[in-house]
Amino acid sequence: MSTVFIRVLEEVHDKDGALRAAISAAGADRRIFEVNPTTFRSVPGSPFAYWVSETLRAAFAKFSRFEAGGRVAKRGVNSNDDGRFLRLAWECAGSKWAPHVKGGRWSPFYADPHMLLNWGTDGSELLAERVTTREYKFAIVPSRELYLRPGLTWTLRTKSDLSMRVMPAGCIFGSKGPAVIVENDDVELLLALGALANSQVFRSLIEFQLAAAEPSGRGGVARSYEVGVIQKTPLANLSTSDVATFARLARRAWSLRRMLDTVNETSHAFILPSGLNEKVAGLNPDAIVRELETLQREIDQAGFSLYGIRPEDPASLVSTGDAPAEREESSPDEDNDDGDDLGDDDVSGVSSGAGVETLGSWLVGAAFARFDPRLATGERPVPLEPEPFQALPLRSPGMYPEGEEPAERPDILVDDQGHAADLAARTRAVAERVRVEAPENLRGWLAREFFPLHIRMYSKSRRKAPIYWQLATPSASYSVWLYIHAFSKDTLFRVQNDYAAPKLAHEERRLESLMSELRDGATAAQRKVLAAQETFVDELRAFLDEVKRVAPLWKPTLDDGVIINFAPLWRLVPQNKPWQKALKSTWNALCEGKYDWAHLAMHLWPERVVPRCASDRSLAIAHGLEDVFWAEDSNGKWTARKTPMRSINELVRERSSPGVKAALASILQTEVGRLAKKAGSRRRPLDAEA
């Protein structure tokens, strides 16, 4: 028996009037629906969606579930400590780090995986029980047998529509970025499923199920595209011809969206920045957007035909989604992952089309021999596009291929006009080579604007990971720039001996010369020049003193992540207060033992970290001491050894350095002195009043 329903939920101002109008119009009103309620049972969850067409409901009975026939949809890793186990793709490299998909912004067909997960060979460090000050912590690692295989992934929770995209081989999917895997890793089938999942009809079938929880529509609230919903969504029967058609459309859509990403220098797809990319590689963003719109219409039409559903049938559901213009805006759940935040406030990067900013950033990267200017001059051809599910490269096409880097790959450049390693001069030389205009007032831009920009460009998912480090005086009148993928434990000693000390000696001689020249009868302008030089020399002295203080204890290990490696240098970034604050906070946490998994913690405090390895197997694995303190029984269970293979005292002694301890004591004493001085300056006015 049919029941008549009248829908006036969307009427905000006059529901009574809308209801009366619908009743008066009888069956001719679009708000009146006549439905047999028993048909609700054909849909998982029996949503009370009376406004949905009969053909849409019938699809659930007519077709098999998405998870069937060798297709699975599963959630993946939740590290339960992202600050420790996750890195951004440009922070570090090595066999222990696997690309990790973890949600992200609305991006159908293609999205560059920008995270790495500390997986090692078997995830042992991640899987081991971890001891915190208050509780035991474990990673949640389901579906391990499916990791590293090609598949599709999507953002679990978002304000935008479902967007299914390619997950290349070699990735580990996460709890917020689930995955679809198919039998025999059939890439053509994966592409076809990706196209179908991004079609209007499939999205409508998804929204139909979600309507059970939110019948009044989206309303701008984040939705959860849970794995169970994907699993239960009906999938139309795909013939060999259907697979070929949808795969062709998906492959082209993937290629076009990847082309748009070739101007993003943090992407695995990067070739050249905006301006150069259009000229050299023929990038045409407007034409790409138009073709993508055409492809989406083709996919939608093919999807409706495959399901035997008319385009107007799901219109009421589709209309509840976000407008396309809103899809690029991420919600906190999309782009800002939960977990231990080792940075400051979250930032979402810089637009890839930011013109002079992205061009300037590329020029700096080329000056450090990271990016290959031969692509811009035609000396090196633009590399061919990879296959969609091909494992991600260690370097983007825009970088120098392995083995082709220049003989001189600097780890240190300076802001020092006339110096052979002057960053401004080298950046300008690259601009002249590729025939582009360098940023106006290049030296001033590098001194005061580039580093904040660089931090924004190289920050994502609540991690900040700049790879070019500006160490500077408070006024930024002198800067030393370090490139993390070229420096070593000796880099700071070289900053001290080869750059800062000679610079100070030169400026002291200049100060003495000025003082001698202006001893008698100096004008006001001359006195101003002299005062400026005195201030500059004082800043250089303080800069050199701090470099001398920290150089003996600094031992960078990229696996620790950018901000932990940078933390001991926090006094050397006074020109950027927000970044200095983030570094200081991280340094304090290191001192307090919050990051004892870090190599830097073991380097500075072995007397604290080594004993913890005896009670925390995860820490023991991180520091290569698992076999010393832990043993595995025949059932695969790990227990602490009653008698370690080596004594704790012996391990601490061989990891301790008098030079490091002296440098650490000097730094900590300096901090105590500064705090006491600051407290005294606050008390003095009160003492004076008393």
**pLDDT tens, position by position, 293-334:** 999 999 999 999 999 988 876 654 444 333 333 454 444 444
Question: Which of 58-62, 214-218, 240-244 has the lowest average pLDDT?
Answer: 214-218
Confidence bin at 341 (pLDDT 50/70/90): very low
Rounded-to-integer distance, Cα 546 and Cα 561, Å:
22
Confidence bin at 458 (pLDDT 50/70/90): very high
pLDDT for residue 318:
43
pLDDT for residue 670:
77
Closest CA to 270 of 90, 442, 434, 454: 90
Query: Would you say residue 530 has pLDDT above 70?
Result: yes
Q: What mean pLDDT, rounded, does the chain reach?
A: 88
**Residues ≥6 apart with Cβ < 8 Å to 345:** 578
pLDDT for residue 85:
96
Confidence bin at 340 (pLDDT 50/70/90): very low
- Do the Cβ atoms of 423 and 439 come closer than 8 Å? no
Closest CA to 457 of 472, 443, 468, 444: 468
pTM of the model: 0.89
Question: Which of 31-35, 138-142, 446-450 has the lowest average pLDDT?
Answer: 31-35
Rounded-to-integer distance, Cα 175 and Cα 173, Å:
7
Rounded-to-integer distance, Cα 487 and Cα 599, Å:
17
DSSP track, 121-169: TT-HHHHS-EE-SS-EE--B---GGGTTS-EEE--SEESS----EEE-T
pLDDT for residue 498:
97
Please indicate whether residue 219 or residue 132 has the higher confidence score (pLDDT).
132
Rounded-to-integer distance, Cα 84 and Cα 116, Å:
11
- Do the Cβ atoms of 485 and 466 come closer than 8 Å? no
Task: For residue 26, report the phi and psi dihedrals to the nearest 5 degrees.
Answer: 55, -135
Closest CA to 483 of 497, 471, 467: 467
Query: Would you say residue 137 has pLDDT above 90?
Result: no
Burial class (CB in 10 A: 0-12, 13-18, 19+), 622: buried
Q: What is the pLDDT of residues 466-475, one digit of tens each?
A: 999 999 999 9
